[in-house]
Structure 1
């Protein structure tokens, strides 16, 4: 039996689509070239074509699945990102700090999206978020929202690493902090010296998540900052709880 005629450019384009679809975050063109083992010029050419046809969407920092691809598949994380990033960017511009969306999924606390306005200081997340939730405001907000069994399971699998002199490293101390009943969570230089974060949980029945902003520790936090964060959490909750997308 003769071999079917295969079109190489179509195969390469499909490899790019698969790489974007399998990613939980925006994927830069250079990373896509590495993932698919394609020359960078070829990658750019195929990405432009896929974008023109609506199968990919170009956003700040890389590519997401486009409407043509999403319409033919089950709603994916990329569609979620397209909805939440405007909220995060607006919050970043309003507060002057980098903003973060994190969620609990498949037993881990994962960073879903980041946004920052041009003058904002972004925290370099050099330690995996799933290994440092105890030291971040959004991690503590999510831990506090877990049921006891979930929290015990999570903490049994994660050490409380000492990232700065201010990091909580005692599980007993962390448990007391999580039981405080606060509605706005913070870390005061617990993850990185010179930087503090605020976070609030996202009101949603579909996921356990939190939105956060990082600010210089020297900056005083105003009540208006907290209110802005809470408004963003409500907007994110509405965007992520419409029955079309869950994570």
Structure 2
């Protein structure tokens, strides 16, 4: 296994491919051993051979993509945990993908628990700050399409009353302003969501607090927004997670 991995690493360093003899030399392997391993790796799809040169195959590229994806997820999770601890609030990360709201990561503690998802987040985007923030980043056609599939419905006495009222609210939302929601999804809870856009993908980070701590919501949201602004480039917050 270690010898096969050495060969894969050697192939990865040659964008334009490399012959077996060169790969054997770089991996420190006898040529017959290298030939055997290269043929096996090619048969399994980890390498492909063209005109005597070896390139990474589809299976190896999938592994690389999966590893990169896991690394991005880990990076985002670590960032959320850091902000959770420094600001003292639960932190959420969500994206809008393929017409649906996807809650990707949540960082909370027993002392500062996240909001319980008692009604499907995907179907109740009109009622929580995460969904409202994501919908505010869409164009009008996509918003209407989403609401056709997931109509506005009363979740609490404070939920927006109908689709027209929601669309008006979304249209008036400032481009990079936090979206504030008070008890529209869960009684006794207030939330704020901050828009993050990369390319054509909408994303958001959000926080929640008990209603009795509502005065902390906006300052905490502003602090999170500031932290995101400083770290977004180095974090490469993976909108493509």
Q: Scaled by the length of structure 2, what TM-score is found? A: 0.66
Give the 3-state SS of the residue equivalent to 1:131 in structure 2. coil
Report the counterpart of residue 74 of structure 1 in structure 2. Answer: 65
Residues 1:71 and 1:131: Cα distance change in structure 2 (over 3 Å) = closer
* Closer, same or farther: CA 193–88 of 1 in aligned 2, 3 Å: same
Q: C-alpha displacement at 1:79, in angstroms?
A: 3.0
CA deviations 1:161-194 (Å, max 9, x no partner) are 2111001130111011101233110110001000
More helix by proportion, 1 or 2? Answer: 2
What corresponds to 1:109 in structure 2? 101
How far apart, CA to CA, are the structure 2 residues paired with 1:195 and 1:222? 10
In the aligned structure 1, how far is the partner of 2:190 from the partner of 2:233? 24
The alpha-carbon deviation at position 97 of structure 1 amounts to 1.9
User: Is contact 2:189–2:210 with CA below 8 Å preserved after alignment?
Assistant: yes
2:18 aligns with none
* Cα deviation, residue 157, structure 1: 0.6
- What stretches of structure 2 of length at least 5 have no aligned partner? 1-59
Give the stretch that moved more between structures: 230-239 or 96-105: 230-239
Q: Secondary structure of 2:187's match?
A: coil
Pair 1:226-2:221 in alignment: yes
**Structure 1: which 5+ residue stretches go unaligned?**
1-68
When residues 204 and 223 of structure 1 are mapped into structure 2, their CA distance, relative to the original with a 3 A threshold, is same
Q: Tell me, what secondary structure is at the counterpart of 1:202?
A: strand
How do 1:1-247 and structure 2 match up within 5 A? 72-75=63-66, 77-182=69-174, 183-205=177-199, 207-219=201-213, 220-221=215-216, 224-234=219-229, 235-236=231-232, 239-240=235-236, 246-247=240-241
Cα RMSD (Å): 2.4
Contact 2:192 2:217 in 1 (8 A): no
Larger radius of gyration: 2
CA distance in 2, matches of 1:217, 1:236: 29
Conservation of the 8 A alpha-carbon contact between 1:98 and 1:122: yes
Output the CA distance in 2 between the equivalents of 1:100 and 1:241. 13
TM-score, scaled to structure 1: 0.65
User: How many positions carry a matched residue from both structures?
Assistant: 177
